Chains A and B, each alone.
Chain A
Amino acid sequence: MQIEMKGIAKAFGSNKVLQGVNFDVKSGEVHALMGENGAGKSTLMNILTGLLQKDAGSILIDGKETSYSSALDAEHHGISFIHQEMNNFPQMSVVDNMFLNKEIKTKFGLMNQKEMKKQAKHYLEQLGSNINVDQLIGNLTVGNQQMIEIAKSLMTDAKFIIMDEPTAALTENETAILFKTIRELKSKGVGFIYISHRMEELWQICDRVTVMRDGVSVNTYSTTEVKEDRIVKDMVGRDIGDYYPARNPKFGPVALKAEHLTGAKFNDISFEVHEGEILGFSGLMGAGRTETMRALFGIDKLKSGKIILHGEEVKLSSPSESIKHGIGFLTEDRKTEGLVLDQSLEDNIALPSIDGFRKGGIIDKKAEDEFVDMLMKRLTVKAQSANVPARSLSGGNQQKVVLAKWVGSGSRVLILDEPTRGVDVGAKKEIYKLMNQLTDRNVAIIMVSSDLPEVLSMSDRIKVLYEGKEMGIIDAKGATQEQVMKLATGGK
C-alpha cells in the first residue's frame, strides 16, 4: 500500500498554512516528518486523516484519489493517528478505554466484559506487553499509555500509523521498547509517519525524512544519505551555526546550597549552584528531579533538609516565599503550570511581580506596560502585541513568555525544568542564548533536562539522580552521554 500526497494546500482565512506539500509513505517504511512548530506538519496529517479538508492538491492511496470525511473514516481505511496528547480517559480502565465506542455487546445489549478483556490482552500480547487491562489507564506510565494507543490502532487493523512526537515524554527504556515495537510492526508491513523534534531518532528508527518549512515540503532524503546539519538547515532555512552557543562561565560565590533534601519521591539530595553557573540535573523520568525542584520552590512539601541562599538559611514554604527570595521556577508543563493561557502576555509576564506595581493600591498601568514591553524585547518574544492571549503563541514563544515572567521578577536563582520541551529549533537556540546572558549577569541556573545533548552542552556541572537518590556529579566539560547514562540508569 502507498499513500501519496501531492501539492497539498490549505489556508485558514488569509493564513496560508500549506502551500504545495508533497509527501509519500509506503507499507513497511518509517517516514519521518520534521519541521519547526508551525511548519504545517500537524495540518498535513489532519488533512490526511480527514480532520481537515484540503483546498488543493490530491491524496492518492495506491494511485487512487481518496479523501476521508472524518478521522473515523480514515481509521476504517487503515490509517490511524496517535496524537501527542493522548486522548484517553485516565479514570477509566485500560480495557474500557480500548473499547470505547467499539464496545462488544452480549445478545442482551449489555457489555461483554469477558470478550473485551480477552481481545484487549490479545492485542497487547502482540506488542509483547503484559499490562493489566483492569488497571486505570491514568495509573500507567506514559510509555505504557502509548502502548495502549498502538494496540488501539492494531484493533482497527491499521496499515499506516501516524505518530506525533511519541517519545516526547518517554524514558530511554520506554523509547527502546517503542522502537522495538515499531520495527516489528514494520516488518509485518505497517507503514509509519513519524513526527519528531528529536534529530537522533531519524537515524535510530526512520528510513526516510521529509523536512517541512513554512507550509512547503523542502526536501525528502533517505536517512542513510543525510546528515544532521543539512536537515537543520532545511528546517530553519539558513545555517544556524553551532546548535549550542559556547559557554564561558565565570563562577561567583555559591548562590544556593541545598542540604539533604528529602521528600516523598527523593531522598537526601544535596547540591550547590554558584552565581553564573548552570547546574544540570539529569536522570530518567521518575528519577525525582522535578519533584526535588518542586519541593525546593515550595510547591510540594519538603520532609526535611536545609536550603541556604546566599549564605543564609531560608524557609521556602510556598512559591510566593521563594519569589520574594529571588528564586524563579519555569515548570515542566507550561500549559498547566506556566501560563494562564487565555490571558494576555502582559498579565502573564507581570503576574509574579504585580505587587511591585501598586501605587496607592492601584496598578500603575504605564509602568507595567513599559516593564512588559522591555521584557518582551529582551527575550525576543514574537507576538503582535502584549495583549494577545498566551494561547495564540507558538511553543517557543510561550516558553519565552514564561522566562520573561521570571527574569522580570528579578530571579537570582532560576530553576528551569525542561526549558526547551516542545520548542522548535530556532527558539531553542534563542533560549540557550538567554540562559548564557543570564549567567553572564551572575544569575544561577538549575536546569532539569531529559535531553542529553542539551545537558552536556549547556551545563557546567551535571548532577545525576536515579530513583530519587543522587548518583554523582560530573564536570560537563569532556563528559560523554555514556557517562551520564550509566549513572542515570543506576550504574556506578
Chain B
Amino acid sequence: MMDKPKAKFDVTKYMALIALIILAIVITALNPQFIAPNNLMNLFRQTSVNALIAFGMTFVILTSGIDLSVGSILALTGAITASMILGGMPAWLAGLIGIALGAVLGAINGLFITWGKVTPFIATLATMTIWRGATYVFTGGNPITGGKMNTSFFFQFIGQGYLFGIPFPIIITLIAFAICYVLLHKTAFGRKTFALGGNEKAAFVAGVKTKKVLITIYTISGLLAALAGFILTSRLGSAQPDAGTSYEMDAIASTVIGGASLMGGKGRMSGTLVGALLIASLSNGMNLLGVNSFYQQIVKGVVILIAVMIDSQTQKNRD
C-alpha cells in the first residue's frame, strides 16, 4: 500500500539551500561585513577549488562510488604543470597537459574499479597514496615556485585574474558547473549515470555499458581535480607537495550536504554547488567572527552530521 505521490512543492529538495540562506542571514546579523561585495567575491573564489572537485565527486557518488584520490591528483598534476612552466613551456600548454594527465589518472582509477574489480574505496585509497608519494618523489618534498610562474600573464590570470570585475576562478567554476549540470541532467550519459547508481544490474541488462560509463565518470573526476589544481597553483603562485590534502573530504561533504546519497542513484549538481557554498560560508563566516580555526573543524563536522541526519529523516518520512 503506498501513499500517492503528489506533484507539489517538495521542500526536502531545497533543504541545503534553506540552510545556506539561514546561515548567511545569521552570519550577516553577527557581522554585516559578510555580505560586502568584496567578501562575497572572496568567498566564491574560496569555493571554486572545492566546488570543482565536488562536481566530479557528484558523478562518482551517484554511482555509489567514492574518489579519495582527488587531492593527490590535484597535487601531482599541479606540481607537473608548475615544473613544465618553470622549464619554459607556455603556461596554457602546461595547464592543458596537467589537466589531461588528471583525466588519465582518473581513468586509471576507473580501470582498477571496472576491469580490476576493486571496490572504489580501496582502489582510490591506494591511488591516493601512490600519487601523493609520486608528488613527493617528483618535487623532492619542496614547493615549486618562482621563475616563469611569476612572469607568465596567462598562468597568473587563471587563479588571480579578473574578468568584468569577477575573479576568473569563479568564471571557470560557473562554466564547469553549467557543463556538469547539462551532462548530468540533460544528456543520455547523465541518465545512464543515475540508472547505474540506482541499480547497476538492471542498467546493464537495459544495455547501459556500465564499465564505460564508470571509467568516464572517474575520468571526469580526475580531470576536474586537475583543473582545480591548476587554479590553486596559480592562486598560490606555487605548487605545494602537500596541496589538496583532505580535499576529498570537503568534496564528499559538499555532495552529501547537497542531497546526494552514498548509496547511489540520488543527487543533483545544483545541490552540490549549494553544499560547496555552505561549507565555504561556514569557514568564511567563522573567520569573520573570529572563531578559532580549531573549533571550526568541530563545527564543520557537526554541520555535516546534522545535514545528513535531516536528509535521511525526511527521506524516511516520505517512504
Contact = CB atoms under 8 A, between A and B. Distances in A.
Interface stretch (B18-26, B148-156, B192-200): B192-200
A392 B192 CA distance: 21
Interface stretch (B2-10, B225-233, B272-280): B2-10
Interface in A279-311: 297, 299
Contacts of A389: 5
A324 B209 CA distance: 12
Interface string B202-221: 11111111000000000000
B188 A357 contact: yes
Contact of A341 (B191, B199, B207): B199
B3 A340 contact: no
Contacts of B188: 354-355, 357-358, 363
Given A340-B199, A342-B198, A352 B3 contact: no
A130 interface: no
A17 B5 CA distance: 17
Interface stretch (A145-153, A249-257, A315-323, A477-485): A315-323
Contact of B5 (A322, A331, A355, A392): A392
Chain A interface, DSSP helix/strand/loop, else mixed: mixed
A411 to B, nearest CB: 11
Contact of B209 (A43, A320, A391): A320
Given A320-B209, A338-B205, A392-B2, A351 B195 contact: yes
A358 B182 CA distance: 13
A433 B282 CA distance: 60
Contacts of A342: 198, 265-266
A112 to B, nearest CB: 36
A322 B209 CA distance: 12
Interface centre among A354, A362, A391 (most CB of B within 10 A): A354
Contact of A319 (B3, B186, B187, B206): B206
B157 to A, nearest CB: 30
A387 B7 contact: yes
Contacts of A219: none
B201 interface: yes
A272 to B, nearest CB: 24
A322 B208 CA distance: 11
B1 interface: yes
B203 A351 contact: yes
A318 B207 CA distance: 8
A363 B205 contact: no
Given A343-B195, A354-B192, A388-B5, A338 B202 contact: yes
A108 interface: no
A347 B196 CA distance: 12
A194 interface: no
A376 B194 CA distance: 22
Contact of B3 (A13, A323, A361): A13
Given A299-B205, A323-B206, 9 more contacts: A299-B204, A322-B207, A339-B202, A343-B195, A347-B191, A351-B195, A363-B191, A385-B7, A388-B5
Interface of A: 12-13, 15, 17, 38, 43, 297, 299, 318-320, 322-324, 329, 331, 336-343, 347, 350-352, 354-355, 357-358, 361-363, 384-385, 387-389, 391-392, 405, 409
Interface of B: 1-5, 7, 182, 186-188, 191-192, 194-195, 198-199, 201-209, 265-266
11 contacts: A297-B205, A319-B205, A320-B207, A320-B209, A337-B199, A343-B195, A350-B191, A351-B207, A357-B188, A363-B187, A409-B207
